[in-house]
Amino acid sequence: MTSKSRRRRIAAILRYAALTAWAVVAFFPIFWMISTSFKPDTQWFAWPPFYFPHPPTLSNYLNVWFGAEEYAATQYAISSQKPLISLMNSTIIAGTSTLLSVLFGSVLAYGVSRYRILSETRMFQLLMLRMIPPIVIVAPLSLYYSALGLLDSMTGLILIYFLTTLPYAVWMTKSFIDEVPREIEQAAEILGASRWRTIFEIVLPLIRSGLVATFLFILILTWSEYLLALIITKTQVTTLPIELSKYQGTTEGRVYGRQAALSVGITIPLIIVGLIIRRHLARGFSFGMVRR
Amino acid sequence: MQPSPRALSRRRAIRWFRWSILAPLIVLLAVVLMPVLLLQLYFSFHQWSVYLGSWSEAEYVGLDLFGEVLADPRFGWAVVRSLAFATGSTIGCFLVGFALAFLMYKPFRGQALYYTIFILPMLTVPVVVAYTAEMLLYQSGPINDLISRITGIEFKPMWLTDPNIALMTVMLLEIWNWAPFSFIILLAGLAAIPKEPIEAAEILGAPRWRIFWEVQLPLLRPVIFLALVLRFLEAMAEFPKTWALLQGGPGTATETLPVYIFLTTWQYFEISKGAVMSYIVMVMMIVIVLFAIRLLRREKRSLDTMYGQAAREAAA
């Protein structure tokens, strides 16, 4: 009996050790990013490295996000950037495309769930929109957009994000709709509600929390999208990931503190959103096939 | 017997309803996707680069460009690199994710905290991962410093500038970034496995490892396939980290398919060659995806059965 309980205790200790080891691996880069964002410029790539900022300073944030002049005058100034405008662009583009995706996706999912308007084969073909790497269409897309005048516009990005996230929206909302018992809709139909009213006033409100989860999940994807944004935006409309990638070409090279301050600002909204829907992430990434 | 007028009008109403639901998707595919695919086809058979004037007057070259691309060793190497990168990172993500999920699926003190920390890497923007990796991995950077201090041996690999290990570096980043994906899917899968078969095996006195191999693993198969297939497809498309960190360098060490297509199109401005490569990659990916979909369909069916049973038991 005692040997069994001792073995169990050793197993528990080993488990904590293994989990803690990976927790350190998972968290260290994020810690480093936050730490660097508060470091003065002499400690960005000092040897030996500074693990904690000494003393912590807000100058990186003030310079990067607000273009504060007293910091902009230093040799590491990135004065031409406009991260606050990019923040607004990112919010509008990610928000609008995600909203469209969830709105049309959930109605389509309802049609598939109740009226089988797409066969199972078609539903899987829809996944191709997501599974074929977007790199294969970016060149013709950019030429097509330039002919339409959609290059460097919010509309262009919103449209293509809408299209590429639609499979997630349809599949994920369908997994929620499938869980709603049909009796409620049948009762509504008998009482004379139209099909559209049934969707918008009965079914969608019933899966409210699922819709929110789907919205936030797709928001994660559109917020961090890089390739399409890189091609379609030029100068007028930049999203936050593109704003960050402008540091790639700076001649000084290593402006780590500034990059980190920008990175933290881009990442925080995503982490908040992700933690809100942490229970639904598995469902989202598996197109609703795995549930909890 | 003729259907009653009422049934007829109902059928017509449903048809109208179905088309109005489908219309937005069809419009979107016809207006955005179709023209793009047609343009790509056009460029695959017409030699055009931005230096050659208006693209509508490009010269027809038939299949010449396909021959050129297929004979290009750089393209062949990019295919090999992409497949190696996707395979390696998929296996890595799976091993880490599976180990974590297996250690975590029974409740214990601190579970929620670990779960939160473990999903953080997945919630960082890929470009941010690339730039943070650069801060961490330069030769006298914190990672080498930390490993040297812990092990007491001087550890100074050139993660980003040594062509022999650069691709592995990106692969490790991909694993860091996406192991949480495998983890959450496998954890959800383990949690959903019905308890009765395991309990029955325990009562019959089966040893722990046999329960794992013969009861839990087979029940987990659909989720394992899902984790592998979806991760592989995403890894084939990986672009932001590879590009923002190394742009295919040093040399061509990290030049995966997306990076090579990007370079050809946007740095060498050989639009037609890029289109042909895109076309070949698209066909290749469609074949892979169709195969993946066959797997997914089968596994989805067993998952649905499992959740259906769980729901019925909960209702009873």
CB pairs below 8 Å between A and B: how many?
254
What is the predicted ipTM?
0.90
Q: Do B121 and A140 touch (CB under 8 A)?
A: no
Q: Which residues of A touch B233 (CB under 8 A)?
A: 131
DSSP chain A: -HHHHHHHHHHHHHHHHHHHHHHHHHHHHHHHHHHHHTS-GGGTT-SSPPSS-SS--SHHHHHHHH--HHHHTSTT---S--HHHHHHHHHHHHHHHHHHHHHHHHHHHHHHHHH--S-HHHHHHHTHHHHS-GGGGHHHHHHHHHHHT-TTSHHHHHHHHHHHHHHHHHHHHHHHHTTS-THHHHHHHHTT--HHHIIIIIIHHHTHHHHHHHHHHHHHHHHH--HHHHHH--SS---HHHHHHGGGG-TT---HHHHHHHHHHHHHHHHHHHHHTGGGHHHHHTTTSS--
Q: With an 8 Å Cβ cutoff, is A48 touching chain B?
A: yes
| Token couple for A243 | 């704003």
Question: Which residues of chain B make contact with A270, given a CB cutoff of 8 A?
Answer: 123-125
Report the alpha-carbon distance of residue B50 to residue B252 in Å, rounded. 24
CA–CA separation, B59 and B43 (whole Å): 10
Distance (Å) of CA B247 to CA A54, A230, B19, B157, B297: 33, 14, 45, 20, 37
Q: Which residues of chain A make contact with B108, given a CB cutoff of 8 A?
A: 12, 15
A146 touches chain B (CB under 8 A): no
pLDDT at A97: 96
Contacts of B116 in chain A (CB under 8 A): 275, 278
Instruction: Give me the DSSP letters along A214-252.
Output: HHHHHHHHHHH--HHHHHH--SS---HHHHHHGGGG-TT
The separation between CA B105 and the C-alpha centre of its own chain, rounded to angstroms, equals 24
Other CB atoms within a 10 A radius of the CB of residue B302 amount to 14
Does residue A123 sit at the B interface (CB-CB below 8 Å)?
no
The identity of residue A100, as a single letter, is L
Q: Inform me whether the C-beta atom of residue A160 falls under 8 Å from chain B C-beta atoms.
A: yes
Query: Dmax of chain A from CA atoms?
Result: 78
Assess A145–B contact: CB distance below 8 Å, yes or no: no
The minimum CA-CA distance between A70 and chain B, rounded to whole Å, is 25
Task: With beta carbons under 8 A apart, name residues in chain B contacting A16.
Answer: 110
A190 close to B (CB below 8 A): no
Mutation for testing the A interface, residue in B113, B176, B184 having most A CBs under 10 Å:
B184
Question: How far is it, in rounded angstroms, from Cα B302 to Cα A279?
Answer: 22
Is the Cβ pair A133, B258 closer than 8 Å? yes
Cβ contact A267–B271 (<8 Å): no
pLDDT of residue B307: 80
- Enter the DSSP assignment of B212: I
Interface check A49 vs B, CB under 8 A: yes
- Does A34 touch chain B if contact means CB atoms closer than 8 Å? no
Per-residue pLDDT of chain A (292 residues; tens, 9 = 90+): 567 788 888 988 999 999 999 999 999 999 999 999 998 888 887 778 888 888 888 888 888 887 765 554 444 444 445 788 889 999 999 999 999 999 999 999 999 998 888 888 889 889 888 888 899 898 889 889 988 988 888 999 999 999 999 999 999 999 999 988 888 888 888 888 888 888 998 899 999 999 999 999 999 999 999 999 998 887 778 888 888 887 765 445 578 888 899 999 999 999 999 999 988 888 888 888 887 6
Among candidates A123, A114, A94, which has minimal Cα distance to A273?
A94
Chain B positions in Cβ-Cβ contact with residue A124 (cut-off 8 Å): 293, 296-297
Rounded CA separation B259/B267 (Å): 11
- What would you report as the CA-atom Rg of chain A, rounded to the nearest whole angstrom? 24
* Cβ within 8 Å, pair A226-B281: no
3-state helix, strand, coil in chain B (%, to 5): 80, 0, 20
The pLDDT value given to residue B257: 93
Contact A133 B285 (CB under 8 A): yes
User: How many Å apart are CA B277 and CA B260, to the nearest integer?
Assistant: 9
Q: What angle do CA A264, A268, A269 make, to 5 degrees?
A: 135
Compute the distance between CA of residue B315 and CA of residue A221 in angstroms, rounded to an integer.
35
Is A21 in the B-facing interface, judged by CB distances under 8 Å? no
Question: Helix B34-45 to helix A138-148 angle, to the nearest 10 degrees?
Answer: 110
Q: Do A247 and B131 touch (CB under 8 A)?
A: yes
Q: Could you tell me if A45 lies within 8 Å of chain B, comparing CB atoms? A: yes
Q: Cα separation of A114 and A131, whole Å?
A: 26
Cis peptide before A48 (omega within 30 of 0): yes
Kindly tell me the burial class for residue A53, based on how many C-beta atoms sit within 10 Å of its own C-beta (0-12, 13-18, 19 or more): middle
Residue in the block written with tokens 């490009």: B58
List the end-to-end C-alpha distance of chain A, in Å, as a whole number.
36
Residue in B22, B32, B122 nearest the CB of A159: B32
Q: How many CB atoms lie within 10 A of CB B217?
A: 11
Interchain CB contact of A38 with B (< 8 Å): no
Q: Do B21 and A51 touch (CB under 8 A)?
A: no
Token pair 């260290």 is at which residue? A28
One digit per residue, the tens of pLDDT, for chain B of length 316 reads: 567 888 888 888 888 888 998 998 999 999 999 999 998 888 888 887 766 667 777 778 878 888 888 999 999 999 999 999 999 999 999 999 999 999 998 888 889 999 999 999 999 999 999 989 988 888 778 888 888 888 888 778 888 888 889 999 999 999 999 999 999 999 998 888 888 888 888 888 888 888 888 888 888 888 898 899 999 999 999 999 999 888 887 888 899 999 999 999 888 888 888 889 998 999 999 999 999 888 888 888 888 888 877 777 776 6
